[in-house]
Amino acid sequence: MDRLQQITLEECDAAYGQWLSYGGQAPRYGGRLSRHVKDGNKGIERLKFDNSAVAMNLWNFLLTEEERLREARSAGKKLIGTMKDLGTLPVMVYAHPGLVAFYPDGAWWIPCLMDENDRLLEVADQLGVDGTFCPVRAMLAAFVTGDHFPAPDMLICSVGATCDDFSAIAQRVEGLGNPILWWELPHRRALGHDETGIELPGGACAAKDQIDFVKDEMTRIIRVMADTVGASVTDDMIVHGISEANKVRACLAELRLTIFTADIAPLPALELLVAEMMAIHFCSDRDEVLVVLSGLLELVQQRVAAGVGYLGPDSVRVFWINPVADLRVMNMLEECGGRICGTEYLFTHALDQIPTHIPPREALARMALADPMAGAAQDRARRICADIKRFGSEAVIISRIPGASHCALEGVVIKETIRSIFDIPVVEIEVPPVSDTFQASLRTRLSALIEIAKGQRKRK
Amino acid sequence: MTSAPSTERSRKKVIYSSPYIPAEWIAAHGLEPNRMACLSYDRSLFVSAPVNVEAGVCPYMRGFINQASSDTRVQAIILTTTCDQMRRGADLISLYSHIPCFLMHVPASWETSGVNRLFLRELERLGEFLVSLGGVKPQPDELAATMRTYDEKRKKLMAQQGMVSGKDFAQKLACFAETGNVTDGREQYVPGEKCIPVGFIGSPLTGNHFDLFDVFSEYGASVAFNATETGERVLPARFDLRRLKDEPMHVLAESYFSSFPDIGERPNNRIFMWMKDRVRDHHVRGVVLIRYMWCDKWHAEAQRFRESLSVPLLDIEIDGEQIGERTRNRIQAFMEGLR
């Protein structure tokens, strides 16, 4: 697996066999990637993968999450389905050794991974939640079919400053007989004239009374969780949980920085997206995720030191905003001559270090309020612009989530803010869960963006 | 929070669209509350913005912020977080308009004392914003007096329910929301013997949507209740007059935050129980869900209403324009089915 290239699933299997024959040690979830196709993940046949063993570990770790959840249940652990907050509650849940957190929200990738063989979108249609909703509607169907994750022992969902699609779909989940503990995340408001804000991870500011309110919500969640699943999470446990989460975040921060600042892209966009997603709930194994990500970081550092990577130094440095429901589109970026140099996948608050100098529930409250979707789109845009400057991005892709209630308007604000500061091209695309019929137009838009960015490079 | 420029002090109207905003709180500050009826559905996303996006943008939000921001008599705009589109609408206003805009967080959850306190705190913040516009913070007795006045007006208004036609009552509600005035009823309305009673529920009705009452009437229906976001469902409960003197703000917050059931509250089981009661009490034979395109909260629950109500449901999606032929045909078919 020495020569750097993106390879097909079939080639992955061959490379994996070769790696084993040279004495490679596979983790317990390791194996040929094609076995996941037999489990139903037919969509991965259409992806292209980084050809390293550590990248295959990453994929194997991702695609075996359901098994881990079932093992955890068999071992007597309680499964907590955390919904929407993307990164905050799992820190608290994993602080207790008898609890495991996962996001049912992650079902939004199932139609892509299973190439719609799961028929989740069809089931969602039948429930009256059609294609005018965000792809997270697959989650509703997954609760109905019960095929994709074990039924959680408890569901906890943030509401308030969250998107309407998710709130509406989560309410339908509850309406189908799945009780949810709703907790309030207030819109991160602008400060009053005489008000002193508290800086949050990531740089935004929040009013003290809002932080106090969310801290009280954290306390309430701990209380209800103890009553519901019999697991009491103490502050000392959370302190430890924060420390462990921060290790994962530090590793990801180093990984992102190394990739974004490298002369040649050391890792494809797709694998980086998967790695970043690991931050929100550790893919159901907080210890192992660090092993997986550390391996990836080591690989990337080796590649940078050796001056090897994908494409070449000529590739256009692209900042990508919002995650895509169809992972193939991330492959398309390299195919069009672009590389990732900056990302904002709606969960930057799950990547920032959680403060350790303050009481732990307050630290989690600050983190929750740092959610880019909790505040004004201008706050989001400011952070994106700071990162564009930091990483020298030459072009921006705003990937709209089809049907999402926030994307159309947020996109306008973010795009206009970027254009007011930088002379770089910005393109908006919309990526459905299975983008077959849109592939040609998406490719055209990405190619045009890359072309324009290269043209501007010459003019500068 | 932004202070109004002194040159614009002559403007009086404080515009809002959410039923969670207490008109009496604005009036008690000496300003003019106006829950604006959106009449224009300009296709541009925002009149002064160099952008035009239609897909994914709620026509009501678009119409509201376009109309509010282009009205020269508007002193300030108040939006709430009850809907993601309105929340993002506030971002657009702050980016493209000089009109001060206040975004109030209305909690979606309602089962804890903490969110009640949060709503109260948001009302206090709104008060600070109104003062920044030139309003005067009312003394408790002044606020109580204003609340009594509005409470009496709402009592007078509600007394006309069933005495006038569904359309007339809806227009009286809209008039009260916009001006604070209650018009007297004229002759007593008696629906025809063969009229089939139906109930409305859903998004706010504005402008041309009042024609829906006529269309239903044309096909033999009478609208027995209007539980849309501009109907009687969202009127606050009558104030607890015994507590009004001592703690008017608490009474105000309680009445506005927790007295009416809403589709966006979590959990939202109250609205389903409330609807079952209305269907039973008004003997309606069909329910009409009227919702805007891209309104997820109403759209997602259409099927649940259909399954939980004892009568048929017609789900109408409107885009802010006239009532089209397709919608007319669906209404006709629905009414034929109810006969």
Q: Partners of A55 in the beta sheet?
A: none
Q: Please give, rounded to a whole number of angstroms, the shortest distance from the CA of B23 to a CA of chain A.
A: 22
Backbone angles phi, psi at A157, to 5 degrees: -130, 135
Task: Answer yes or no: do B303 and A128 touch at CB < 8 A.
Answer: yes
* Contacting residues of A for B51, CB less than 8 Å apart: 412, 415-416
Q: Please give, rounded to a whole number of angstroms, the shortest distance from the CA of B250 to a CA of chain A.
A: 18
Position A236 scores a pLDDT of 98
Is the pLDDT score of B52 beyond 70? Answer: no
Here the tokens at position B252 are 């105000």
pLDDT-derived band at B6, boundaries 50, 70, 90: very low
> What residues contact residue A409 under an 8 Å CB cut-off, 6+ apart?
A377, B53, B56, B57, B85, B88, B89, B91, B92
* Contacting residues of A for B88, CB less than 8 Å apart: 377, 406, 409-410, 413
Is the pLDDT score of A20 beyond 50? Answer: yes
Q: Which residue has the tokens 């209650």?
A: B182
CATH of domain A65-237: 3.40.50.11890
Position A408 scores a pLDDT of 81
Cβ atoms within 10 A of the Cβ of A273, count? Answer: 17
Q: Please give, rounded to a whole number of angstroms, the shortest distance from the CA of A300 to a CA of chain B.
A: 39
Is the pLDDT score of B137 beyond 60? Answer: yes
**Chain B interface includes A337 (CB < 8 A):** no
Task: Answer yes or no: do B301 and A171 touch at CB < 8 A.
Answer: yes
| Cβ-contact A274, A320 below 8 angstroms | no
Q: Partners of A158 in the beta sheet?
A: A183
Distance of CA B158 to the CA centre of its chain: 16
**Chain B interface includes A376 (CB < 8 A):** yes
Interface contacts (A, B; CB < 8 Å): 148
Chain B residue with Cα closest to A185:
B107
Tens of pLDDT along B161-199?
888 999 999 999 999 999 999 987 666 777 777 899 999
Position B56 scores a pLDDT of 74
- Residue A408 identity: A
The candidate with the shortest Cα–Cα distance to A4, out of A283, A386, A268, is A268
Specify whether the backbone of B22 is left (phi greater than 0), alpha (psi in -120 to 50) or beta.
beta
| Cβ-contact A41, A63 below 8 angstroms | yes
Backbone angles phi, psi at B7, to 5 degrees: -65, -15
The candidate with the shortest Cα–Cα distance to A113, out of A266, A29, A11, A9, is A9
Distance of CA A328 to the CA centre of its chain: 16
Helix (H, G, I), strand (E, B) or coil at B231: coil
Here the tokens at position B324 are 């089209």
DSSP B159-188: TTTTTS-HHHHHHHHHHHHHHS--PPP-SP
Tens of pLDDT along A362-373?
999 999 999 999
Query: What mean pLDDT do residues A279-290 have?
Result: 97
* Contacting residues of A for B43, CB less than 8 Å apart: none
Q: C-alpha distances in angstroms, A290 versus A242, A287, A386, B333?
A: 14, 6, 28, 61
* Touching B: A residues 185-214, CB under 8 Å: 186-187, 189-190, 192-193, 209, 213
* Contacting residues of A for B108, CB less than 8 Å apart: 159-160, 167, 182, 184
| Cβ-contact B313, B284 below 8 angstroms | no
Helix (H, G, I), strand (E, B) or coil at A265: strand
Query: What mean pLDDT do residues A165-180 have?
Result: 97
| Cβ-contact B36, B26 below 8 angstroms | no
Q: Which residue has the tokens 């007006």?
A: B153
Question: Quick check: ipTM above 0.85?
Answer: yes
Task: Answer yes or no: do B88 and A184 touch at CB < 8 A.
Answer: no
CA–CA separation, A238 and A245 (whole Å): 10
Mutate to test the interface with A, among B48, B80, B87 (most CBs of A within 10 A): B87
Of the listed ranges A50-64, A87-101, B55-69, the least confidently predicted one is B55-69
Specify whether the backbone of A177 is left (phi greater than 0), alpha (psi in -120 to 50) or beta.
left
pLDDT-derived band at B1, boundaries 50, 70, 90: very low
| Cβ-contact B174, B233 below 8 angstroms | no
CA–CA separation, A424 and A437 (whole Å): 28
Percent of chain A with pLDDT over 70: 99
> Least CB-CB distance to A165: which of B51, B268, B296?
B296
CA–CA separation, B150 and B156 (whole Å): 10
Cβ atoms within 10 A of the Cβ of B275, count? Answer: 22
Is the pLDDT score of A2 beyond 80? Answer: no
pLDDT-derived band at B96, boundaries 50, 70, 90: confident
* Contacting residues of B for A220, CB less than 8 Å apart: 112, 114
CATH of domain A239-459: 3.40.50.11900
The candidate with the shortest Cα–Cα distance to A402, out of A442, A447, A348, A342, is A442
Q: Does domain B6-138 fall into CATH 3.40.50.11890?
A: yes
**Chain B interface includes A412 (CB < 8 A):** yes
Q: Partners of B33 in the beta sheet?
A: B14
Is the pLDDT score of B295 beyond 60? Answer: yes
Residues of chain B with CATH 3.40.50.11900: 162-338
Query: What mean pLDDT do residues A376-401 have?
Result: 97
Domain spans in chain A, listed from the N-terminal domain onward: 65-237, 239-459
The candidate with the shortest Cα–Cα distance to B85, out of B103, B69, B110, B97, is B103
Position B50 scores a pLDDT of 56
Residues of chain B with CATH 3.40.50.11890: 6-138
Q: Partners of B15 in the beta sheet?
A: B34, B77
> Least CB-CB distance to A187: which of B103, B112, B267?
B103
- Which 3-state string (H, E, C) describes A15-50? HHHHHHHCCCCCCCCCCCCCHHHHCCCHHHHHCCEE
| Cβ-contact A125, A172 below 8 angstroms | no
Task: Answer yes or no: do A159 and B125 touch at CB < 8 A.
Answer: no
Burial per residue of B61-84, b for 16 or more beta-carbon CB atoms within 10 angstroms, e otherwise? bbbbbbbbbebeebbbbbbbbbbb
Is the pLDDT score of B3 beyond 70? Answer: no
Specify whether the backbone of A346 is left (phi greater than 0), alpha (psi in -120 to 50) or beta.
left
| Cβ-contact A374, A406 below 8 angstroms | no
Position B59 scores a pLDDT of 85
Please give the helix or strand (H or E) that residue B201 lies within, else none. strand B196-202
* Touching B: A residues 211-230, CB under 8 Å: 213, 216-217, 220
Q: Which class is B162-338 in CATH?
A: alpha beta
Backbone angles phi, psi at A233, to 5 degrees: -95, 120
Position A197 scores a pLDDT of 94
DSSP A34-94: THHHHTT-GGGGG--EE-SHHHHHHHHHHHTHHHHHHHHHHTTPEEEEEESS-SSHHHHHT
Chain B residue with Cα closest to A179:
B267
> Least CB-CB distance to A220: which of B112, B128, B303?
B112
* Contacting residues of A for B128, CB less than 8 Å apart: 192
CA–CA separation, B186 and B160 (whole Å): 10
Q: Exposed, middle or buried: residue B37 (CB in 10 Å: 0-12, 13-18, 19+)?
A: buried
Here the tokens at position A266 are 């050391």
Here the tokens at position A433 are 């869960």
Here the tokens at position B256 are 């506005």
pLDDT-derived band at B9, boundaries 50, 70, 90: very low
